[in-house]
Amino acid sequence: MPVVTRQVTDLLGDLVRIDSVAPRYEPRGGGEAAIAAFIAGWLADAGAEVELADTEPGRPNVLATLRGTGGGPTLCLRAHTDTVGYRGWSRDALTPRIVGDHLYGLGAADGKAGCAAAMLTLLALARSGVRPRGDLLVACVADEEGIAAGTTALAERGGIDAAIVVEPQRTDEIVVEHQGFGWLDVVTRGIPAHGSAADDGVDAIVHLAEVITRIHRLDRSVFHRFPSLNNGRTVCHTGMVSGGTDYSSYPDLARVGLEVGIQPGERLADRIAEIEEIFAEVAQSEPGFDGQVVVRLDREPFVASGHQALQDAAAGAIAAVLGREPTITGATGWTGAAILQRAGIPTVLLGSAGGRFHAPEEWASISDLARLCEILTRTALAYLGG
């Protein structure tokens, strides 16, 4: 039964209206409890067995199972309920606005379109009149925009034979690998001194500036490699910077927070080695240079494995719905797929179009989301033995 555009628009609009800003982004953000309660009620009405599992107090995962006849595998559709904050929106970010095929609103694409797709897939399966052997598990998880505690808890729960992570992407693509990333602090230490005592002071901020300039050069040159991934570019940018205490003193400490990508086949240690090479270079021209890298977060890349049966099911579904063969490809952004695959769960990514993620006027394509629902329904039926 094809999912109609009206159904998609209504459900996605309902989800956008519920504030699920992660507390990390806005202390007064709604968090995941209210949206989890809405999704849980909706999926129970659709015929699923529903469970709310807290990842930390008040931040639950929704786990909804549509039982098959037995003896088949369990396929998980994983979406996420949390969003980033409303900073920069010139109008109410939580009031959905529809212009043509686009639904605008905070989290419309990342990740409420994924939640809507997973929910409507379960409903379509429940109403299809076909009962597959295997179970469909819809997991709308918390904290994907934070430390992915929801996906980690899902992976630890077990009982999943294969997973589809639903995130914004082209509907005709099956993503089987993506970058990992690291959050690094680069710290330089100088020697504090009175501002008039140039011979005594070592300027930690100037030294950090030298390092940042060279990292930026690395980004503009060698990080444009890896054509196997969608746009081939290794993530590398500064996130925040601090240092010094006052106008009148040489600063003894400066720090920049960086986000750096890790391509499939690489490790965070490769990025750290590059930065340490930069330290050695800067030390040659800057006497007293002292640099250090501190790892804040290390997320390995995602490389699918054991996923052929799932990929075949998805490829057949995409060909049937879109009338063309899918592209098997890689992506730039990190998702919880890396965590599920690391736990031994064969995983691929499917999704629908959207744009302006983590920015004002984020949008999701309504027609594409309807097509994704149909692709997921057909994939589930084929994989679960319909």
Q: Return phi, psi of residue 337, to 5°.
A: -55, -35
Tell me the C-alpha distance between 77 and 61, whole Å.
13
Binding site for Zn ion (CB under 5 A): 110
Cβ 151 to Zn ion, closest distance in Å? 13
Q: What's the min distance (Å) between Cβ of 169 and Zn ion?
A: 13
Measured distance CA(147)–CA(186) in Å, rounded: 21
CB of 33 to Zn ion, least distance (A): 19
Please identify, using beta-carbon distances, which residue of 110 and 203 lies nearer to Zn ion: 110
Instruction: Tokens for 28, please give them.
Output: 């007064």
Which residue number has the CB closest to Zn ion?
110
Indicate the residue among 72 and 333 with the shorter CB distance to Zn ion: 333
Shortest distance (Å) from residue 181 CB to Zn ion? 13
Nearer to Zn ion, 166 or 384 (CB): 166
Secondary structure, 3-state, 177-238: EECEEEEEEEEEECECEECCCCCCCECHHHHHHHHHHHHHHHHHCHHHCCCCECCCCCCEEE
Minimum gap (Å) between residue 145 Cβ and Zn ion: 5
Instruction: Name which of 110 and 368 has its Cβ closer to Zn ion.
Output: 110
As measured in angstroms, the least distance from the Cβ of 362 to Zn ion is 10
* Closer Cβ to Zn ion, 192 or 333, answer by number: 333
Q: In this structure, are residues 98 and 158 in contact, taking their beta carbons and an 8 Å threshold?
A: no
When the beta carbons of 110 and 173 are compared against Zn ion, the nearer one is 110
CB of 357 to Zn ion, least distance (A): 6
How, if at all, do strands 291-299 and 249-250 pair?
Answer: unpaired
| 106 or 381: CB nearest Zn ion | 106
DSSP structural state of residue 92: -
Give the span between the Cα atoms of 17 and 321, in whole angstroms: 30
User: Could you tell me which residues are beta bridge partners of residue 328?
Assistant: 174
Burial of 231 (0-12, 13-18, 19+ CB in 10 A): exposed
